[in-house]
Structure 1
């Protein structure tokens, strides 16, 4: 067992043993959804499962890693494994049509055909419906593995045709402690541990100047929104839009904004959970004293709705302006 697989067994033992049991008992599903936060090892587990299903020299329910099949899978050259990733911001119908054509044509090596859809929640509606038809009528020995960190964004009709395998995130306290050992401040460690469960990615973000600027900008928007809606709208134009230029950046910004209001909700409820912004405790506590639970819920719902609209090609400036107005409405709800 290689080092990466050993780490997977340490962090996701239930998942890995479930995959091994499926193989051992020859109860391989035709479709799975691997659901978990970024950095929880979904893609590594999918590749392990693919090797397990195709390896010629499996020992104790673990692929050998040394046979020609395993080596070709590791190098990405095995014809029976295909991985689909977003083309730009989403996964398009053409990508799914090409995948299905590849899965159904002759000329493959003997054995099961496997396809992995990374960021499956990014399938546009046409792509999702194309995949759905194939899931309903799979041809031969074919296994789909859909990877997502947003299970609810996947069509319910697709969900119902897949086995859901949840991945547990590592303890935030563990990640924060490891980051602090590397010299990261407790405040930044708490924030990045909300963004990713992958320690290496968290460490990278903690040292990234752009991420630090994003964090600062989000907190300034919270301040501006508390003071006056016109000030918040001006801040969107002058500070937010120049920094959050791409959709991925905007999505991260919306997540960071959501974490701020979650902190307020936790302070208001007297919860002891680790906040995303411990350095803002006094400010958020003061804000929460003047906001009802209903108002906080309305604001967080507005942020979640903005995230959904983000990938509908809506103008990002307009999206953010509408969000600020929706947040203001939420704060006025009695």
Structure 2
């Protein structure tokens, strides 16, 4: 999981922008943190708040040890308030109560902050009340709006916010963070192709069904190289009965496609290519050595076609039987 300690590595541009605002004392009343889920928006908001409240800032970074920093970290700072959706939306009562809190004299002196998580979930009444508050800010109060869909926020609110764009996490960062969580490099390499959300990647890596799915796909590739009858039998035993949900079925096909992409990359001897299945490199190199580019291309086309047929609700057993035959021969669907 992302923490305030590694947000500088995850979002270096955003952190530098925040530090620049602090050093130049250019703090405004409202900020919008926009980016995909898992890109560190909440952690960056905490970094920002700690930086402005910290008693011992060093090199434009909060110390993390002073009373103010510890209160923020523990979630007990009386000058820091968070709003989350109540059900499907953020309601006017939530914003009204927040505004009252902002106007009250608290135990802690100085700057006040309110962080609105999933700000795009505000209903119209709540958004209008927030807009009124932004138009008439009270003292040293700063709003930080977090969102994955800024287009759903009122343009009049957006115009009053300084916008920070959070970049998607690079694959290399996902892999590194997963390895720090004691996940093998092989599994991290595979999962990092499926999501750039670190929390989702960690969940997927430790999900027993996904771990087994990965093993199933790799075993299937081995049977394809040997005997088509064995492949057909294996999919009836280990694939069709297990992957009943379309999402799981499609994910397994994605893993199969990643494997063939690895094989093509190895055949092309692409320097620096990070493969999805590094633990199978020797086996894939052997397959690459005994395959032509034409055959590998047709095999990948067959997998892509199978994905397409899945969305057209083709009988899944028939779909996989045809795919096995096509992968065995290297011909695509006709």
**TM-score range with shorter-chain normalisation?**
0.5 to 0.7
- Checking the alignment, whether the CA contact within 8 Å between 2:34 and 2:150 is kept in structure 1 is yes
Residues 126-177 of structure 1 show CA distances to partners (whole Å, capped at 9, x for unaligned) of 2212111111111111100011121222221111110001111222365368
Aligned to 2:91: 92
1:112·1:142 contact (CA, 8 Å) conserved in 2? Answer: yes
- Aligned twin of 2:120: 121
Gaps of 5+ in 2: 212-243, 258-273, 275-298, 310-334
- Is 1:282 aligned with 2:311? no
Distance 1:171 1:111, change over 3 A: same
Residues in 1 aligned to 2:24 and 2:169: alpha-carbon distance in whole angstroms: 29
Tell whether 2:209 aligns with 1:190: no
Distance between the aligned counterparts of 1:211 and 1:88, measured in 2? Answer: 30
Contact 1:119 1:149 in 2 (8 A): yes
Task: State the distance in 2 between where 1:187 and 1:63 align.
Answer: 36
Please list, as runs of the form range in 1=range in 2, the aligned pairs for 1:248-267 lying within 5 A after superposition. none
> 1:289/1:36 Cα in 2 relative to 1: closer, same or farther (>3 Å)?
closer
Kindly provide the CA deviation profile for residues 233-272 of structure 1, in whole angstroms up to 9, marking residues without a partner as x: xxxxxx88xx9xxxxxxxxx8xx99xx9xx9xxxxxxxxx
TM-score, length basis structure 1: 0.59
Gaps of at least 5 residues in structure 1 are: 213-238, 244-252, 264-273, 275-279, 291-334
Larger radius of gyration: 2
Residue of structure 2 in register with 1:79 after alignment: 78
Q: How does 1:45-60 map to 2 (within 5 A)?
A: 45-60=44-59
CA contact (8 A) 1:11 1:170 kept: yes
Query: How many Å separate the matches in 1 of 2:97 and 2:126?
Result: 11
Length, aligned pairs only: 235
**2:165 matched residue in structure 1:** 166
Alpha-carbon distance in 2 for matches of 1:174, 1:27: 31
Q: Give, in whole Å, the separation in 2 of the partners of 1:288 and 1:67.
A: 55
Superposed CA deviations along residues 67-97 of structure 1, whole A, max 9, x for unmatched, are: 2111111111111110111122221111111
| Alignment-derived partner of residue 63 in structure 2 | 64
Aligned-partner Cα distance in 2 for 1:52–1:11 = 18
Kept in 1: contact 2:95–2:130 (CA 8 A) = yes
What is the alpha-carbon distance in structure 2 between the residues aligned to residue 209 and residue 123 of structure 1?
37
Secondary structure at 1:127 match in 2: helix
Alignment of 1:1-334 (within 5 A): 4-172=3-171, 175=174, 181-184=184-187, 189-191=192-194, 193-194=195-196, 196=197, 198=198, 200-208=199-207, 282=301, 285-286=304-305
* Separation of aligned partners in 2, 1:49 and 1:76: 14
- In 2, are the aligned partners of 1:83 and 1:118 still within 8 Å (CA)? yes
Distance in 2 separating the partners of 1:112 and 1:135? 16
